[in-house]
Amino acid sequence: MNFELTEEQQMIQDMARKFAEREIKPVAAELDRTHRHPAEICAKMGELGLLGITIPEEYGGAGMDYICYVLSMIEISKACASCGVIMSVCNSLYNFPVYKYGTEEQKQKYLRPVASGEALGCYGLTEAGAGSDPARMRTTAVPDGDEWVINGVKRFITNGNVSRYCVLAAVTDKSAGYKGISSFIVDLENTPGFKVGSVEEKLGINASGTAELVFEDARIPGENLLGKPGEGFKQMLTTLDGGRIGIASQALGIGRAALEEAVEYSKTREQFGQPIANFQAIQWKLADMATQLDAAELLTLRAAWLEENGRGYEKEAAMAKLLASDTAMWAAIEGVQILGGYGYCKEYPMERHMRDAKITQIYEGTNEIMRLVIARKVLKDR
């Protein structure tokens, strides 16, 4: 078993770290405060290949492996969780299904712009009544000649207000339950009947837009069906498995940032005539944070390795997402405790880490759903 990174993996990790420290971290607080979409950072991430890491170069991507994806996601998210989730959605939720299930023509037309960083993508799945239970979705797609007519509203769509393209899940056969769900590629800028609805005011990841996608007799070309009718649910499950690796990586970045801030503060903050890092109570908190983050990172790298090598990774991705997100939330709370009153003030980034960490326990499948996924696999395999 070899834990050494390859030269390519070390290269992208170093590149992402330097970029994040130089270009993202200095503006992270401003992005959070103003809720501004970081268009200039997204453009630079695109130029560096970070929005299409695992997509082959022939489709505009960087042609690297899933370990590279995890390593770079951690570094970007450590600087700014909002930038991290924008990157994750493009890679995991948009690029992956278009590359895996799309035709050659679809890949050239709809994958290349996002993988190369020319545009952003999103994934239209969640609805007001269909979150953890996607089979209850109400958005419909009805064939009409050589077009599909779409009606419905998607909620909580990351990148929804800034994306050019969307992979959209819709019901094409109401009588077939989850087997009647299909996936479509939608050019949001050129679809009559589409509009962006409300953009959510959120607790955290404030520089990442979370929007409604509203379709009212929206028409898309017939050839924009992704795969075959009725395959959408199966495509969705596979896409979300990979997406959980991305969110685990985002959570790790947030947790690492919280640990680094706590270590730095504990070395300089003095009480009773000495740095608080000398006190065993603080040392144990830091030791537990470091240990749990390392454990979560190993789980995440294992899931990424399994995906890269074509192995099953549903359970492993769920485990990684579960532990990484719970650890990030706990580490941020402990970080606030270590900083005391300063941890509760916006003068320090720790309170932002705590707010950003919470969503990682919710999206890409709540941690309650992760436990169900893991338990189902454990019971089946024994």
Q: Judge whether 58 counts as a catalytic residue.
A: no
Nearest C-alpha neighbor of 124 from the set 181, 162, 171, 166: 166
Alpha helices in the chain (DSSP H): 7-19, 28-34, 39-47, 66-79, 81-88, 96-101, 104-106, 112-115, 232-268, 280-308, 314-339, 350-359, 367-380
Helix axes 232-268, 66-79, angle to 10 degrees: 50
| 325, amino acid identity | S
Contact call for residues 292 and 283 (beta carbons, < 8 A):
no
DSSP structural state of residue 5: P
Sequential DSSP letters for 228-290: STT-HHHHHHHHHHHHHHHHHHHHHHHHHHHHHHHHHHHHH-EETTEEGGGSHHHHHHHHHHH
From the candidates 261, 351, 364, 368, give the one annotated as an active-site residue. 364
Question: So which residues are the catalytic ones?
Answer: 364
